Amino acid sequence: MNPLESTPPPGLDAERRERARIDARRLVARRRGRTRRIRNRVIAASVAAFATAWAAIGVQLASGHDPALAHKSQSTAKTSSASHKRSSVQTDAAQTYSGSTDSSSTSSSTSSQPLAPVTTQQS
Protein backbone atom coordinates (compact mmCIF):
# COMPACT_ATOMS: atom_id res chain seq x y z
CA MET A 1 0.00 0.00 0.00
CA ASN A 2 1.30 3.23 -1.03
CA PRO A 3 0.62 6.19 1.34
CA LEU A 4 -0.12 8.44 -1.58
CA GLU A 5 -2.98 6.22 -2.74
CA SER A 6 -4.75 6.18 0.66
CA THR A 7 -5.07 9.97 0.96
CA PRO A 8 -8.28 11.49 -0.33
CA PRO A 9 -8.16 13.83 -3.27
CA PRO A 10 -7.41 17.45 -2.28
CA GLY A 11 -10.74 18.79 -3.55
CA LEU A 12 -12.75 16.48 -1.27
CA ASP A 13 -10.84 17.61 1.81
CA ALA A 14 -11.59 21.25 1.03
CA GLU A 15 -15.30 20.45 0.71
CA ARG A 16 -15.29 18.74 4.11
CA ARG A 17 -13.56 21.70 5.70
CA GLU A 18 -16.05 24.09 4.16
CA ARG A 19 -18.99 21.95 5.36
CA ALA A 20 -17.46 21.78 8.83
CA ARG A 21 -17.09 25.57 8.90
CA ILE A 22 -20.71 26.02 7.81
CA ASP A 23 -21.89 23.52 10.46
CA ALA A 24 -19.80 25.29 13.10
CA ARG A 25 -21.29 28.66 12.14
CA ARG A 26 -24.80 27.20 12.38
CA LEU A 27 -23.96 25.67 15.75
CA VAL A 28 -22.62 28.98 17.05
CA ALA A 29 -25.68 30.81 15.70
CA ARG A 30 -28.00 28.34 17.47
CA ARG A 31 -26.08 28.74 20.74
CA ARG A 32 -26.25 32.53 20.50
CA GLY A 33 -29.97 32.36 19.79
CA ARG A 34 -30.54 30.02 22.73
CA THR A 35 -28.45 32.24 25.01
CA ARG A 36 -30.38 35.31 23.86
CA ARG A 37 -33.74 33.61 24.53
CA ILE A 38 -32.64 32.48 28.00
CA ARG A 39 -31.40 35.96 28.86
CA ASN A 40 -34.61 37.55 27.63
CA ARG A 41 -36.71 35.12 29.64
CA VAL A 42 -34.69 35.73 32.81
CA ILE A 43 -34.98 39.49 32.35
CA ALA A 44 -38.72 39.24 31.71
CA ALA A 45 -39.22 37.04 34.78
CA SER A 46 -37.19 39.43 36.95
CA VAL A 47 -39.14 42.46 35.78
CA ALA A 48 -42.44 40.64 36.29
CA ALA A 49 -41.48 39.57 39.82
CA PHE A 50 -40.35 43.09 40.68
CA ALA A 51 -43.52 44.65 39.30
CA THR A 52 -45.68 42.09 41.11
CA ALA A 53 -43.95 42.78 44.43
CA TRP A 54 -44.36 46.54 44.03
CA ALA A 55 -47.97 46.14 43.02
CA ALA A 56 -48.69 43.98 46.06
CA ILE A 57 -47.07 46.50 48.38
CA GLY A 58 -48.90 49.36 46.67
CA VAL A 59 -52.26 47.64 47.00
CA GLN A 60 -51.57 46.85 50.65
CA LEU A 61 -50.67 50.46 51.41
CA ALA A 62 -53.55 51.87 49.37
CA SER A 63 -56.00 49.71 51.28
CA GLY A 64 -54.77 51.20 54.54
CA HIS A 65 -52.83 48.24 55.90
CA ASP A 66 -49.42 49.81 56.41
CA PRO A 67 -47.40 47.39 58.58
CA ALA A 68 -45.04 50.11 59.75
CA LEU A 69 -47.88 52.32 60.94
CA ALA A 70 -49.72 49.44 62.59
CA HIS A 71 -46.67 48.43 64.58
CA LYS A 72 -45.96 52.01 65.57
CA SER A 73 -49.54 52.61 66.74
CA GLN A 74 -49.39 49.57 68.99
CA SER A 75 -46.15 50.71 70.58
CA THR A 76 -47.53 54.24 70.93
CA ALA A 77 -50.58 52.89 72.71
CA LYS A 78 -48.37 51.02 75.17
CA THR A 79 -46.21 54.08 75.71
CA SER A 80 -49.15 56.42 76.23
CA SER A 81 -50.76 54.13 78.77
CA ALA A 82 -47.47 53.82 80.62
CA SER A 83 -46.91 57.57 80.60
CA HIS A 84 -50.49 58.09 81.78
CA LYS A 85 -49.81 55.82 84.74
CA ARG A 86 -46.61 57.74 85.51
CA SER A 87 -48.34 61.11 85.25
CA SER A 88 -51.18 60.02 87.52
CA VAL A 89 -48.68 58.74 90.10
CA GLN A 90 -46.78 62.03 89.88
CA THR A 91 -50.02 63.99 90.26
CA ASP A 92 -51.02 61.93 93.31
CA ALA A 93 -47.56 62.40 94.78
CA ALA A 94 -47.72 66.16 94.21
CA GLN A 95 -51.12 66.35 95.88
CA THR A 96 -49.89 64.33 98.83
CA TYR A 97 -46.78 66.49 99.14
CA SER A 98 -48.72 69.73 99.02
CA GLY A 99 -51.15 68.38 101.57
CA SER A 100 -54.09 69.27 99.40
CA THR A 101 -57.33 67.63 100.41
CA ASP A 102 -59.45 69.62 98.01
CA SER A 103 -61.78 67.18 96.23
CA SER A 104 -62.11 69.39 93.17
CA SER A 105 -58.42 69.08 92.23
CA THR A 106 -58.50 65.30 92.70
CA SER A 107 -61.66 64.80 90.70
CA SER A 108 -60.49 67.00 87.83
CA SER A 109 -57.23 65.09 87.37
CA THR A 110 -58.84 61.66 87.50
CA SER A 111 -61.90 62.43 85.39
CA SER A 112 -60.06 64.24 82.58
CA GLN A 113 -58.82 62.52 79.47
CA PRO A 114 -55.44 60.78 79.62
CA LEU A 115 -52.51 63.04 79.01
CA ALA A 116 -50.65 62.88 75.75
CA PRO A 117 -47.23 61.26 75.96
CA VAL A 118 -44.34 63.67 76.27
CA THR A 119 -41.66 63.29 73.64
CA THR A 120 -38.15 64.59 74.22
CA GLN A 121 -36.73 63.74 70.80
CA GLN A 122 -37.89 64.34 67.30
CA SER A 123 -39.09 61.21 65.60
Rounded CA separation 38/40 (Å)? 5
The DSSP string of 10-59 is HHHHHHHHHHHHHHHHHHHHHHHHHHHHHHHHHHHHHHHHHHHHHHHHHH
Average pLDDT over residues 95-109: 50
Q: Residue 14: pLDDT above 60? A: yes
**What is the share, in percent, of the chain residues with pLDDT greater than 90?**
34
Of the given ranges (12-16, 30-34, 37-41, 51-55), which has the lowest mean pLDDT?
Answer: 12-16
Averaged confidence pLDDT in the chain = 74
121 — phi, psi (to 5°)? -130, 150
